[in-house]
Amino acid sequence: MEQDKEKAKKQVPLRLAPQLHRELAEWAAAEFRSVNGQIEYLLHECVRQRKKETNPKE
């Protein structure tokens, strides 16, 4: 039961400027994603990139 709670996606209210939302919607449509899916993808990529930059392999 605890594992199910950990796997469940968290809901986060988000306010966006109309122009930013339009641009994200266009980008999402071009990549066959929902706006929410596009935002989640972009956040995931940013976190992945940050981890790579803060933990460079020597």
**pLDDT attached to residue 56:** 74
Domain that holds residue 57: 18-58
- Tell me the average pLDDT across 8-15: 93
Residue 36 lies in a domain: yes
Question: 3 pLDDT exceeds 90?
Answer: no
Residue 2 lies in a domain: no
Residue 37 lies in a domain: yes
In total, how many domains does the chain have? 1
**pLDDT attached to residue 1:** 64
Residue 56 lies in a domain: yes
Question: 55 pLDDT exceeds 90?
Answer: no
Residue 8 lies in a domain: no
Structure tokens at 20: 């930013």
Top pLDDT among 56 and 38 is at 38
Indicate the pTM of the whole model: 0.78
